[in-house]
Structure 1
Amino acid sequence: MAGRREAPLMRSGSGSGQPLSRGSRIAAAVAVGVTLGCVCAFLYPDGLISRSSDSALHWPRRADSVACETSEKVDYLKSQLASLERKNAEFRKQINELSMKLQMAEHGKTKALYRAGPFGTVKAFRTNPTVMPDETINPRLAKILQQVAVKKELIVAVANSNVKQTLEMWFTNIKRVGISNYLVVALDDSVESFCKSKDVPVYRRDPDEGIDSIGKTGGNHAVSALKFQILREFLQLGYSVLLSDIDIMFFQNPFDHLHRDSDIESMSDGHNNMTAYGFNDVFDEPSMGWARYAHTMRIWVYNSGFFFIRPTIPSIELLDRVAGRLSREPKSWDQAVFNEELFFPSHPGYEGLHASKRTMDIYLFMNSKVLFKTVRKDAYLRNLKPVIVHLNYHPDKEERMKAVIEFYVNGKQNALDHFPDGSE
């Protein structure tokens, strides 16, 4: 009996004689579908059914809606960011206050736990800790100081247009010495423009009615009194300041000659070792008989036109005390108030300032009385090169400043000879 012949489609392509499985048929169908899809995509790139004109009209409207919604989200996020920045500033302020209290507490704790050593070896703490910098008080000044200061230190002068010629002599000498970390605090627009034209670092404070009125029209003493209020922000930002009047000539970099072991390092108005560094002065009152002689301790005042001040709590307290008194006592001399607050001890009804201080070397940081009364007449002292000379004792400042430059810079040995010791 002859067998039944199978249909050709039921055979495998390999001629094995086995029927195609169900999986193979599915795979073949998928392959055919993919092939047709590729052909359609090539022939009809925009699709077999075009988008209706109505849909095309509605698409931009949806885009506008999305853009509007995005803008509202951006505004919301900006407001949230501003709110967070304000809160962050408040938190930073609180952290700074707490850190400051912690520093002082730890400092006190350290002193309380200090064990006294053998005789002659005990030394008290001299250097107070610096404050935690707070850039939120003046971000613009903080940015300037980052660019100008060296090792968080800089020279600062305060000036208005009344002293423009003297100011130019001041910064010309600073440039000649090669000092880069200095800054002029301009009290009016004219000085600001002048400094910028001379490529001098300058900072113009934000408008302040009280300071602006004095800064634009005030004389030397009025302007000098402003510096205690202005310097506070520098210290709060964590910078040490070498405050300089502009009737000062620089011959060496002063930062190479500072000790930095006190809150205040200041030049003296004293004219010799006794008057500058202190001496025992005997007061004689014959009517007291056996007790006619009373010993007193004397020291000539610090010069408030040139001092180095570190960013410590006592330093900031000193600035606050002086600025506060000058605002209440407008006729007071800022240098007198500066020394009274720095030196007067605590007594009934008054709490003295607990600030450490150092007197600068009078032959390195020289006042004009030392120069014209002593140094120019002494063969040995004439050969010493000072760091600065301050023309604080003489009113004919510019003429003497030019002569001092001739003497120390250009080597003209007789440049100082024709000036009198004093101002007669």
Structure 2
Amino acid sequence: MIERREREGPLMKNSPQSLLISRIITTVIIGVLAGCIIVFYFPNDFFVSQSITSIRHLPVAVPKTQENSAESESSDRVNMLKSEFVALLSDKNAELKKQVRELTEGKDQAEKKLLALSKQEKAGPFGTVKALRTNPTVAPDEFLNPRLANLLEKIAVKREIIVTLANSNVKAMLEVWFTNIKRVGIPNYLVVALDDEIAKFCESNKVPFYQRDPDNDIDTVGKIPNGGAVSGLKFRILREFLQLGYSVLLSDIDIVYLQNPFDHLYRDSDVESMSDGHNNMTAYGYNDVFKDHGMGWSTNVYTTRIFVYNSGFFYIRPTIPSIELLDRVAARLSKGNAWDQAVFNEELFHPSHPGYDGLHAAKRTMDIYLFMNSRVLFRTVRNDANLSKLKPVIIHVNYHRDKLPRMKAVVEYYVNGNQDALKPFPDGTPR
């Protein structure tokens, strides 16, 4: 849609009809100016008849031959000027007709070229038609942040990278996070260090990190928005990575990596996110019946529901809809104390309606047993003999407050093979 509008914009702006109108107006203006110039330089010639009439009423005796000669000369000059003016208008009219003919021919040629360039396809047989799903990526703007661009050039693999934000308050969880990433053998990851302590911690552990240069106005990554909510920071940071032309797998710190996630992505959407759903129905959508007994025959109203996407783990491609999503979320978070995950889902899913233009972004829900949240693990998987044999790609301890001990237990269970590692924990976190 966006690409088509961008193509249509210049065509509408420079259409043959608008060019024709502008040329007609130009011709009229030229004619008026020409008439004004003639009147300015030859005022007596245009009003000669009035002058002659006035002279006839004067009580001065003028010889008959002299009067006839003056009238004849003036009449000849007027006729000559009229002829020249008619010839000028005739030439302009001929030129205008030529321009109209050229514009008509140009319009026909433009329409033919447009039809040739736009690939018109016929609808195929029933059940075979599929719409375009993957939006094109934006052109990289490497001048936006040269220092970050140089770093990503060295670290990213196929212009993809895992990015997390961390400060000194989550140092212990960060260590579990990057230790398992290293163990799996994932090379393309980056920590955005929000303070000096984390920067030094990453450097001592040979972890790729990025810290904003406070003396460089261009270096905006990691900079807290002026007057804005800190919760919108990661969305502003993500925007800069996307502008540089990189796809980002945003990751919270409370995630244990068991496989390389890049081996399990589809990359057919603008946003590919893990779900907070706990089974196939809640994660991928279901009909929920709303009952209004006062309506009698139409008591039951069917609704479509889906559990929200988790804003702490999602893959986002560098496309226009993706950048628009980040802008919308960051803008709303800067205006008040909203929950970033709620705003993220509202902007991603709310449809267009009166007074609101919805986001036209393609989205995909990740497999809940590969990209697993901690509710699925502790409520379902660990109690199911078949599901417990599966090896997830990641486990996100998002449903529990005792994150660090559960992360360590996940490592014991899936990496070290301790089958009892998960048993001491209750299904949920005590209040």
Tell me the TM-score normalised to structure 2 length: 0.70
Q: CA deviation at 1:318?
A: 0.3
Q: CA deviation at 1:104?
A: 10
> Counterpart of 2:290 in structure 1: which amino acid?
F
Q: CA RMSD in A?
A: 2.7
| Corresponding residue of 1:55 | none
| Corresponding residue of 1:360 | 366
| Corresponding residue of 1:161 | 168
Q: CA deviation at 1:198?
A: 0.6
User: Which residue of the other structure, out of 250, 270, 287, is the alignment partner of 2:294?
Assistant: 287
CA distance in 1: counterparts of 2:213 and 2:348, whole angstroms: 30
User: What is the aligned-residue identity percentage?
Assistant: 70
Q: CA deviation at 1:287?
A: 0.9
CA distance in 2: counterparts of 1:233 and 1:213, whole angstroms: 12
Establish whether residue 264 from structure 1 lines up as the match of residue 271 from structure 2.
Answer: yes
Contact 1:99 1:132 in 2 (8 A): no
Give per-residue Cα distances to partners, 1:298-346, cap 9 Å, x unaligned: 00000000000000000000000000000012x1000000000000000
User: Which residue of the other structure, out of 401, 410, 414, is the alignment partner of 1:408?
Assistant: 414
CA distance in 2: counterparts of 1:105 and 1:266, whole angstroms: 36
SS at match of 1:137: coil
SS at match of 1:135: coil
Establish whether residue 138 from structure 1 lines up as the match of residue 149 from structure 2.
Answer: no
- Structure 2 unmatched ranges of 5 or more: 12-113
Contact 1:148 1:180 in 2 (8 A): yes
SS at match of 2:143: helix
Contact 2:222 2:233 in 1 (8 A): no
CA distance in 2: counterparts of 1:103 and 1:258, whole angstroms: 34
CA distance in 2: counterparts of 1:105 and 1:405, whole angstroms: 57
SS at match of 1:410: coil
Establish whether residue 120 from structure 1 lines up as the match of residue 127 from structure 2.
Answer: yes
**Distance change >3 Å, CA 379–CA 324, structure 1 → 2:** same
Contact 2:212 2:222 in 1 (8 A): no
Tell me the TM-score normalised to structure 1 length: 0.72
CA distance in 2: counterparts of 1:104 and 1:423, whole angstroms: 55
CA distance in 2: counterparts of 1:105 and 1:284, whole angstroms: 52
| Corresponding residue of 1:347 | 353
Q: CA deviation at 1:369?
A: 0.1
Contact 1:188 1:212 in 2 (8 A): no
User: Which residue of the other structure, out of 193, 204, 207, is the alignment partner of 1:200?
Assistant: 207
Give per-residue Cα distances to partners, 1:267-296, cap 9 Å, x unaligned: 000000000000011111111100000000
| Corresponding residue of 2:56 | none
* Between 188-197 and 275-284, the greater mean CA deviation after superposition: 188-197
**Distance change >3 Å, CA 99–CA 199, structure 1 → 2:** farther
Q: CA deviation at 1:254?
A: 0.2
SS at match of 1:295: strand
> Number of aligned pairs?
321
> Counterpart of 1:336 in structure 2: which amino acid?
A
| Corresponding residue of 1:25 | none
Q: CA deviation at 1:142?
A: 0.3
| Corresponding residue of 2:235 | 228
**Distance change >3 Å, CA 120–CA 312, structure 1 → 2:** same
Q: CA deviation at 1:224?
A: 4.6
Contact 2:243 2:318 in 1 (8 A): yes
- Structure 1 unmatched ranges of 5 or more: 1-96
| Corresponding residue of 1:305 | 312
Establish whether residue 238 from structure 1 lines up as the match of residue 238 from structure 2.
Answer: no
Pairs within 5 Å for 1:36-75: none
**Distance change >3 Å, CA 223–CA 256, structure 1 → 2:** farther
| Corresponding residue of 1:171 | 178
CA distance in 2: counterparts of 1:266 and 1:131, whole angstroms: 21
CA distance in 2: counterparts of 1:181 and 1:297, whole angstroms: 38
CA distance in 1: counterparts of 2:224 and 2:246, whole angstroms: 25
Q: CA deviation at 1:225?
A: 2.9
**Distance change >3 Å, CA 111–CA 336, structure 1 → 2:** farther
Q: CA deviation at 1:132?
A: 0.5
**Distance change >3 Å, CA 198–CA 372, structure 1 → 2:** same
Higher Cα Rg, which structure: 1
Contact 1:253 1:387 in 2 (8 A): yes
Q: CA deviation at 1:101?
A: 4.0
Contact 2:221 2:237 in 1 (8 A): no
Q: CA deviation at 1:160?
A: 1.0
